[in-house]
Amino acid sequence: MTEMALPKLFDRAAGAEPHAYRTSLCGEDILSVDQFDREKLWYIFSRAHEMREVVEDSGGADLLKGRVLTCLFYEPSTRTSASFIAAMERLGGSVIPITQGVQFSSVSKGESLPDTIRTLEQYSDVIVLRHPEIGAAKVAADYASIPVINAGDGAGEHPTQALLDLFTIQEELKAIDGLQIAMVGDLRFGRTVHSLTKLLSQYKVTLRFISPDILRLPLSLMNQLRDQGMDVREGHEVGEVIETADVLYVTRIQKERFTDMAQYEEVKDLYEITPELMKRAKPKMVVMHPLPRVGEIHYSVDADPRAAYFRQVKNGMYIRMALLAAVLGRA
């Protein structure tokens, strides 16, 4: 994992007033889940509920008419880019999509991230950025005078995914406190795991982490959870948690983050959720996955009512509608 090392023109955080709670996220960047306390989460979730009603009643609204979103993706994406585009369009706004291969933009001519950002902000009101390097969204936000939303910075964070994941847990099980949440797969490079774990640490939950040794949750994050006195345990087998978990959060092994492909080959097929395994799970257990899946959940699990991953996808659009409205001050 490398830190993004680019010169900074100015640091908006420096000298800024302490992060006071505001109901409105107007004008704010969304860089990390650390920005969200339970009150802010509650606010976004309530707005997401309203967005669902609006979409179900009339397909959308004109809340963001005249506003422009730039989607700038330096890494592949299906759900995150499509849901941001759908969210913006359902609220009457429009999109500059630089999602189908940044190689066709001036990035391929060697343009730096700061210059790309300072160009795109001339045309738009908000930028959603996915980039392979940890810290890239923060660098972009330091240069931009409009809100920047982190849609994944390498193996760092993926805050909007974590918001929709937490929202899905709340929607499926009508509670978060008191649950046992088990995360399975690539806990080292899986940015969705990092962000969701941090959000969950604000709740009274027990956390179980199932991975091969080389893909354990980063030690700094594990220590943070332990320092907070949370009930956390690590293991290697899904069988250790299948009977007790309320949520099974399954993830893909992040092939693109490996430098040693032999290591990837050793761990790539370790986990598969099957109907046989599901028979041992609680009747109200929920299976989630940020997707894409590449073999971790057998297709025959999809028919199980506990398989929530496509409902999770839809929730992503409502959460992103709520976030766009909030950062653009139309809350």
Judge contact between 107 and 129, C-beta under 8 A.
Answer: no
Number of Cβ within a 10 Å radius of residue 128: 31
Which residues in the 278-307 window bind ligand NCD by CB under 6 A? 290-291
Cα gap 49→57, rounded to integer Å: 12
Closer CB to ligand NCD, residue 135 or residue 152?
152
Least distance to ligand NCD, CB of residue 194, Å: 10
- Residue 202's Cβ-count burial label (10 Å; 0-12, 13-18, 19+) is middle
Give the one residue of 138, 194, 252, 320 binding ligand NCD; rule: CB under 6 A.
Answer: 252
Residue 156 sits in the site that holds ligand NCD (CB under 6 A):
no
Residues contacting residue 10 through CB under 8 Å, at least 6 positions apart: 142
Residue 211 sits in the site that holds ligand NCD (CB under 6 A):
no
Which residues in the 58-117 window bind ligand NCD by CB under 6 A? 79-80
Name beta bridge partners: 208: 182, 233
* 130 catalytic residue (yes or no): yes
Cα gap 115→285, rounded to integer Å: 47
Q: Is the peptide bond before 292 cis (omega within 30 degrees of 0)?
A: yes
Closer CB to ligand NCD, residue 63 or residue 286?
286
Residues contacting residue 252 through CB under 8 Å, at least 6 positions apart: 185, 186, 190, 289, 290, 292, 293, 294, 296
Least distance to ligand NCD, CB of residue 140, Å: 17
Catalytic residue among 70, 80, 160, 251: 80
Interface with ligand NCD: number of residues (CB under 6 A):
10
Catalytic residue among 158, 194, 198, 293: 158
Give the one residue of 47, 188, 191, 320 binding ligand NCD; rule: CB under 6 A.
Answer: 191
Closer CB to ligand NCD, residue 116 or residue 161?
161
Tokens 């809100």 found at: 147
* 80 catalytic residue (yes or no): yes
Cα gap 82→323, rounded to integer Å: 15
Residue 150 sits in the site that holds ligand NCD (CB under 6 A):
no
Residue 197 sits in the site that holds ligand NCD (CB under 6 A):
no
* 79 catalytic residue (yes or no): yes
- Site residues (CB under 6 A) for ligand NCD? 79-80, 152, 158, 161, 191-192, 252, 290-291
Q: Which amino acids are annotated catalytic?
A: 79-80, 109, 130, 158
